Structure formats: C-alpha cells, structure tokens
Amino acid sequence: MKIETSTEHINKNTFNIDLVGTYEMLEMINKEDMKVAEAVKKCIPQIAKAVDIIVRNFMHSGRLLYVGAGTSGRLGVLDASECPPTFNTPPDMVQGIIAGGDRALREAIEGAEDSEEMALEDFNEHDICNNDTIVGISASGNAKYVCKFLQVAKMKKCKTIVITSNANAKMKEFADCFICVETGAEAISGSTRMKAGTAQKMILNMLSTGAMVKIGKTYHNLMIDVKPTNDKLKRRAVIIVSEICGCKEATARNVLESNGYKTKHAVLYLLYGLDFDEADKLLKENQGVLRRIFE
C-alpha cells in the first residue's frame, strides 16, 4: 500500500528505538527534532506572505482564527490563548477552533476530525466575515473538518492560510497561502504530535508574533503591551518601562502602580509628563503604536 504522507513513513533512523537504552532512545528523538527548524526555515517566504495577510486584515478589524483537529487544533488554541496576556489583545482577536470543542482539548473526540457537519456548525457559530483570516492546521492536510471549514471560508471571501506537512494536501485548493513544512517521517511512525507538531508550533509563533510586531504591539523587542495579570508580568512591565525611560525600577513601579499597570501610559508620563487622559488620547490617535508618538 502506497503511503502518500511522509509523516506516515517508517523512519529508518529510529527503527530500533524499542531496543536501545534510554539515553540512545532520547538521542534518536533529539536528532529528528533538530531537523525541524531547518524545515521551517525553508518556508519563511510563505510564512512572511501569511503574516502580511493577517496584518492587512487586522488593520480592517479582522480576526485571526486557527482551525484544526487533534494535536493541530490544540496547538492553535494554545497560540491563541497566549496572545491576550502577551500582547493585551481582545480575547476574540485571535481564536483557536478545535474539532469537537473544548472537550477535545483533553481527550480524543471520535469522528470529530472527519465531521464536515461539525465544521459547518462551528463556522456559523463564529460569525465569520471576509475581514477574518482563517488558518487551517493539519499535518496530513486532509482532515475533512478543516477542509470543509476552509472551503466555506473561501466561499465567504475570507483569506485562508494552510499549515501542513504534506505537499499533496487536499487543503491546498482552498489556500491563499500554502505553508508546507516537510518534516519527514516521525521518530514514532505517524505520531505527528512530534516533528510535525513542533513545526506547527514554531510557525504559529511566527504568525502571531510577526503580526503583533507589525501592528505595533512591541517597541523594539519589548512586550510594551504586556497585560500584567500576575507578579511575574508586573515585574516585566517594570523592567520594560525602566528600560525605555532610562529611570530607576522603583520610579517605574510607582508610576505603574498608580495607573493600574498601563505600560504605555507610564512611558508617556515619565518621558513627556502627560497625565493619563492626555496619554490615552495620544495613543488612540496613533492606533496605540508607541513608536509613532516618539517619531
């Protein structure tokens, strides 16, 4: 029987993985993992195109929606859930949609990956419009749930991006931007939670981080829009404000504590003496981009 997807091939490098000692077993896995970053590097032109699509839609009040089943769906939900605390985005700006719903985050839902009906229900539930960007994620590129979601998205004139490890993926016909990261045979045959999943995680990081940088959610490489929801993030906000303003951390902390840990407002107060309302007005006029105000 011919296997069309390389991730399903038997990996000769790890064929005896069940016979070797623990150290050698882990070395085998590590050697395979080392191939992932190089495979992702080859896809940078397509990833760059995808980032620019996402940014254009963000600038027109569009959303970024990751769609996947199983491991791919979980990775999409993970990346989406990290955007609000990291970049202080509204919860609905980046969303992860997984076949089978929230329960599928913790357990396999029988038939969810192959359910076109479920895909239609989820599509309609999210009130998707043509300013939204849909990112379909599937190692095989053939998951029926994701294919149907992308097909309907194209009918609705949405921009679509596909992340897969299969050059012959069915999802390709529904993609405005096709990202095929060829990670090859897995250490454990067909276990795409390994190299293929690692590649997906890396690319999702690049998509969301790249888009956030381009819409001004960072200043240099500082998380200027960080949402300080715990002690660690409050400490990070203090360091960021101190670094930008060239002031003592104690000064930065005092200002942040007085304004509810609004980092950009604190920076504008310390550098220009602007009170909260003045800083807020200036930020709104410049779409929240601190560099525009500085320039």
Q: Catalytic residue positions?
A: 82, 113
Centre a 10 Å sphere on the Cβ of residue 101 and count the other Cβ atoms it contains: 15
DSSP codes of every residue in 53-81 = HHHHHHTTT--EEEEESHHHHHHHHHHHH
CA quadruple 120, 123, 125, 128: dihedral, nearest 10: -150
* Residue 161: Cβ-neighbour burial (10 angstroms; 0-12, 13-18, 19+): buried
Identify residue 213 by its one-letter amino acid code: V
* Residue 135, beta-bridge partner list: 66, 161
